[in-house]
Amino acid sequence: MWEDRDRFVLSKGHGCPILYAAMAKSGYFPEEEIYTLRKINSRLQGHPDHVRFPFIETSSGSLGQGLSVAQGMAIAAKLNHKKYKIYCLLGDGEIQEGQIWETAMSAPKFQLDNLVAIIDANQGQIDGHTRDVMDLAPLKKKWEAFNWDVQEINGHEFHEILTALDKAQLERKKPHMIIANTVKGKGVSFMEDNIEWHGVAPTPEQRDKAIKELNDKVLKG
Ligand SMILES: Cc1ncc(C[n+]2csc(CCOP(=O)(O)OP(=O)(O)O)c2C)c(N)n1
Ligand SMILES: [Mg+2]
């Protein structure tokens, strides 16, 4: 095991297909295994399972818990005088969970500058828009009030993501929060900001149309 690696906690565990895809591309397991997603006995379940698949840093999917797990990892790194960082990706609906705000309070107390949290602020959750279910505004001010180092970016612009991650290395003594403004289903005309697509699999025709639209956009730059 690579002791000094950075850690990544996918707190919004339902997003794991993209984590599996990134891990397969990085050589953690053969790409063909992707097709076992959510099948019985597969290591690639609908929520990340650390017991079946130890390359994943922690099991997740019960929303609201991952930031606490990441905080524990960050405290362990400090206690062991380790330099690695802990990254944690949260959903904006997820942060309505009370446990999130316990970590919001405690991480600054422990001066966890090795903890970088990112909120996928897509304004949507399973039952509708976050503003209608449980409004989160003003999101930046809330995290600043809890004494986090907060940045707000366009989560679809890679240079903004990379710059924010770099900047998060500079500020000392505070945990870091990157609010990444995104659009659910970005790039697919019939999915964009349409909550009905939160947990629905496309038909083969819809899948092909979506892939074509995404490919056209990539090719056009
Ligand atoms: C504790 C808990 N309650 C409910 C769910 C069911 N659930 C799965 S995804 C989801 C919506 C999450 O919305 P958000 O965090 O904004 O994620 P995103 O929009 O990025 O998909 C819910 C309620 C869950 N996984 N865990
Ligand atoms: Mg959301």
* Residues 41 and 142 placed together within one structural domain of the fold: yes
Q: Which residues lie across from 129 on neighbouring strands?
A: 124
Q: How far is the CA of 50 from the centre of ligand 1 (A)?
A: 19
Starting from the CA of residue 91, give the closest ligand: 1
1 falls within a domain:
no
Q: Please say whether the beta carbons of 35 and 71 come within 8 A.
A: no
Q: From CA 155, how far away is CA 50, in angstroms rounded?
A: 27
Chain segment 103-146, per-residue pLDDT in tens: 999 999 999 999 999 999 999 999 999 999 999 999 999 999 99
pLDDT per residue as tens digits for the range 44-58 = 999 999 999 999 999
Residue 138 lies in a domain: yes
Neighbouring C-beta atoms of residue 18, cutoff 10 Å: 10
User: Are the CB atoms for 85 and 116 separated by under 8 Å?
Assistant: yes
Whether residues 217 and 111 share a domain: the answer is no
126 CA: nearest ligand 1 atom: 11
Asked if the structure places residue 174 within a domain, the reply is yes
What's the rounded Cα separation, in Å, for the pair 48 and 12? 10
202 and 178 co-located in one domain: no
CA-to-CA dists, residue 159 to 59, 164, 166, 181, angstroms: 30, 8, 10, 14
Structural domain includes residue 2:
no
The number of distinct structural domains making up the chain is 2
Ligand 1 closest atom vs CA 47: 25
Which of 47, 59, 63 for a ligand 1 pocket mutation test, highest count of atoms within 8 Å of Cβ?
Answer: 63
186 pLDDT more than 70: yes
Structural domain for 139, as ranges: 7-182
